[in-house]
Structure 1
């Protein structure tokens, strides 16, 4: 079983501040349809169903932070990374649900027009 002590929970506002400052690389591990329907501006999509730690882009000096819907899949992605020898331990606690509950913006897809709405 995964050791939760190896998991660093980041609050939504903490992630937003670091993302805006280009200090993190935000990786959304939800499935492509979920990502297309709603996402955090600046997140990259690497679905957990096909997730391979070796395929992650180079983060340079940025912290890699995983994100999903609620925090469960991002924790699983961290576990896979750690088992593969990557020193990744941070995720958005509560996922995109916590992000939205904190009143932070998301990019959404208008399913009637196909238009993307980005409130930034």
Structure 2
């Protein structure tokens, strides 16, 4: 199952967005580094479990841990898309973004911590 998930994450969607079901599978398997690019105050108001915070306003691709593929998210997908482009330009092709963001996560019944 994980090899199929990785294949879908690294090919297919032109905007490198991860589908909700694939996002859930990646979270459950703990195969990816989850990065919240919202501002610190937003992150502290509630984040998807397991996320680290690297705000877009101070985004530096070097701050993203190596060793695992990356899933970026924000509130609605705009900022995570910008961070994704920055990561790709820095040579991190193992990154995707969860376009629905925290808003979509909560609409799907996801909890925040």
Scaled by the length of structure 2, what TM-score is found?
0.81
Q: Which has the higher helix share?
A: 2
Q: Which has the higher strand share?
A: 1
Q: Please list every run of 5 or more consecutive structure 1 residues that lacks an aligned counterpart in the other structure.
A: 108-120
Q: Please list every run of 5 or more consecutive structure 2 residues that lacks an aligned counterpart in the other structure.
A: 1-12
Runs of 4+ in 1 over 4 A off after TM superposition: none
Larger C-alpha radius of gyration, 1 or 2?
Answer: 1
Scaled by the length of structure 1, what TM-score is found?
0.77
Alpha carbons 1:78, 1:88 under 8 Å: kept: no
Secondary structure of 1:9's aligned partner:
coil
Alpha carbons 2:33, 2:65 under 8 Å: kept: no
Alpha carbons 2:74, 2:102 under 8 Å: kept: yes
Query: What is the aligned-residue RMSD (CA, Å)?
Result: 1.5
Matches within 5 A, 1:69-108: 69-107=75-113
Alpha-carbon distance, 1:10 to partner: 1.4
